[in-house]
Amino acid sequence: MLNEEAERVYADWRKRQQKLSYMFQSEVSDVLRKRTIQKVLEVKNGQHPWLLRDYLAKNVSLETLCIMDEIIGFTTDWERLISEKVVYPDVHIKIRKYKTFVSVDHKKFKNILLDACS
């Protein structure tokens, strides 16, 4: 049972890795269609920013969060500014640990993000 579950999880991860640039472009475009990058990342009054809300609503993948954090580096600010101490700390740990499994061409993904911002 454990081997079957592990195989399924690994197969799902490989599929996401193969379509990573398309998935990133699609998710970033959807998020930035309604708001600017500043609004998406902004923490107001200690509340969750829009990007984190979209992740929690499963509209944005963990991979997209990791890639955006690699490019922009927002989690350090979020850690300091988000006053809620139940949900976000777990998400922050996930992002930090999962980054090691997300290997991308930073220049390519930065250009995708810049295109979505314009």
The residues spanned by each domain of the chain are 2-117
Sequence letter at residue 25: Q
3-state class of 68 per DSSP?
A: helix
Report helix angle 20-34 to 2-18, nearest 10.
Answer: 70
- Residue pLDDT, tens place only, 44-66: 999 999 999 999 999 999 999 99
Report residue 30 as tokens.
């959807």
Q: Which fold has domain 2-117?
A: Annexin V; domain 1 (1.10.220)
Question: Which of 7-21, 50-64, 98-112 shows the lowest mean pLDDT across its residues?
Answer: 7-21
Q: Tokens 């379509």 map to which residue?
A: 19
Q: What is the chain's alpha carbon radius of gyration, rounded to the nearest angstrom?
A: 15
